[in-house]
Amino acid sequence: MAVGSEAREEIRPPGRSEARATAVLLLAGAGLVALSLILPHPPGGDLTALCATAAGMTVVGGAVWFLSARVPVALVHLLLAATALVTGLLFVESGLAVGQYGTIFTWGTLISAYFFSRRAAAAHLAWLLLVYAGSLELVESTGGYSPVTRWIFSAVSLTVVMLFVNSLASRRARADTRARHFFDLSQDMLCTMDMMGRCIEVNGAWERALGYRPVEMRGRRLLELTHPDDHAHATEQALKVFGGGDVEDLETRVRAKDGNWHWLRTSSVFEPDEELVYARSTDITSQKELEAEREALIAENEKLARSDALTGLPNRRALDDQLPREMARALRAGTELCLAIIDIDHFKTYNDTFGHLAGDTVLRDCAAAWDGALRGEDTILRFGGEEFLVVLPDCPPGDAVEIVERLRAATPEGQTCSAGLAVWTPGETVDDLVARADKALYAAKESGRDRLVSAAA
């Protein structure tokens, strides 16, 4: 049974519950004496001594209550023994071998049986029965029962109380020990918090995940460890929990002891009867890193899918996404949208003469030069082969001509280019607009190249 006592000592909350229980015993005993003197009672007894004893019990009980956090367990044993002795004194002062003061014996037995091992509880009971035997010798026996009979009845009843309560307390202690064992072994980060959001208890998973030992977390607010960007949301969810709601799968970043940030997924529940919050957290940092890597990979793949590998410019697939948006924007804003197709002159001949590597260099240089000569809102795409397509939003035809001519003048490597320009007509499809610009480009080539031709509306 000593194991049960050690388990209860380990798991009981701070505040010296044993001391407070003993304080209540003393105060209740004093109240019982006062009540016995107020209500009708047998004549006799030393009234002054009874009042003085009750006053002393009140003073000691109050002091023990307020100093309970500082009262060691050894002193609690002495106080319980002293309470039993004082109860015997009450018997002597009242002049009665039986009476209401025997209830204090029962209360004392309950406290020792609940908080201490069976051996310690039995020692307290033995002392109590010894005190009672002495009291019976000093007072008159009434009611037809001999002192021995009264003592045996009390001894049997109090022993049954002690064994029963101690057995229940020991079973609960063993259950708490098993719960503690699983609490500490859990891979989840378990935490109990008070109404102020301060940690009362955390399990070993916190140290394994974040490096904080349980003693370092005790009394600390979890919100203090939360990332500044997550603090407002975490506070909002905490208020929801303390308002009686539950929170599931709250994802926040928490600072580990080494200064790194870890992602935690937390579920919390509020127990109003205990005024405690129970929280379970899982470290999902690795999962978040994998998600970030996957999102970056997806973004990179999407970028590559819409980019030309040689020039780095958007490709024709990107055009299918962008041009409809520009058309919708132009229609909504009432602005003009122009589209130009530029073709490097005699590129096939250049490629055949100097080789594909040289041809690739020309394509890259042209792409860079033309892209640098555009306005910020304009877009140039590689349309295919040596053809490039230029999208010119919010651009009147006259301005579009100037921009395309500027591009032609910026053509590097001594090359020339031809261009076809078309102005979008509301209601016209992407394919129709591109076809008109392409037709204008064909006209520029047919008329001698190295020029710009605008398509008819």
For residues 178 and 4, is the Cβ–Cβ distance under 8 A? no
Question: Do 342 and 216 share a structural domain?
Answer: no
Residues paired with residue 189 on neighbouring β-strands, in sequence order: 281
Instruction: Report the distance separating Cα 115 and Cα 8, nearest Å.
Output: 7
- pLDDT band of residue 277 (cuts 50, 70, 90) is confident
Question: Do 311 and 417 share a structural domain?
Answer: yes
Query: pTM to 2 decimals?
Result: 0.47
Helix (H) or strand (E) holding 174: helix 147-185
Instruction: Report the distance separating Cα 114 and Cα 107, nearest Å.
Output: 11
Q: Which amino acid is at 226?
A: T
To the nearest whole number, what is the mean pLDDT of the chain? 85
Q: How large is the average pLDDT for residues 351-364? A: 92
Question: Do 167 and 37 share a structural domain?
Answer: yes
Question: Do 193 and 153 share a structural domain?
Answer: no
Q: Which of 153, 184, 215 is the last residue before a domain boundary? A: 184
In terms of residue numbers, what domain contains 268? 189-287
| pLDDT, position 7 | 35
Q: Which of 152, 184, 216 is the last residue before a domain boundary? A: 184
Q: Is residue 324 part of a domain?
A: yes
Top mean pLDDT of 46-50, 209-213, 246-250 is at 209-213
Judge whether residue 259 has pLDDT over 80: yes
SS3 19: helix
Instruction: Report the distance separating Cα 295 and Cα 406, nearest Å.
Output: 39
Question: Do 17 and 52 share a structural domain?
Answer: yes
SS3 236: helix
Q: How large is the average pLDDT for residues 39-44? A: 69
pLDDT tens column, 62-113: 998 888 888 888 888 999 999 989 888 888 887 765 567 888 888 888 988 8
Which of the 8 DSSP states describes residue 226? B
Work out how many domains the chain is built from and give that number. Answer: 3
| pLDDT, position 35 | 85
Q: What is the DSSP string of 69-110?
A: GG--HHHHHHHHHHHHHHHHHHHHHHTBSSSTTHHHHHHHHH
Question: Do 148 and 9 share a structural domain?
Answer: yes
For residues 362 and 352, is the Cβ–Cβ distance under 8 A? no
Q: Which amino acid is at 294?
A: R
Question: Do 205 and 255 share a structural domain?
Answer: yes
Question: Do 155 and 57 share a structural domain?
Answer: yes
Question: Do 75 and 116 share a structural domain?
Answer: yes
- pLDDT band of residue 386 (cuts 50, 70, 90) is very high
- pLDDT band of residue 8 (cuts 50, 70, 90) is very low
Pick the catalytic residue from 224, 386, 428, 446: 386
Q: How large is the average pLDDT for residues 285-298? A: 85
- pLDDT band of residue 286 (cuts 50, 70, 90) is confident
Question: Do 197 and 113 share a structural domain?
Answer: no
Half-sphere exposure of 248 (CA within 13 A, CB side): 0
Angle, in degrees to the nearest 10, between helices 430-446 and 316-333: 110
Is 293 considered catalytic here?
Answer: no
356: CATH: 3.30.70.270
pLDDT tens column, 415-433: 999 999 999 999 899 999 9
Q: Which of 138, 162, 184 is the last residue before a domain boundary? A: 184
| pLDDT, position 395 | 94
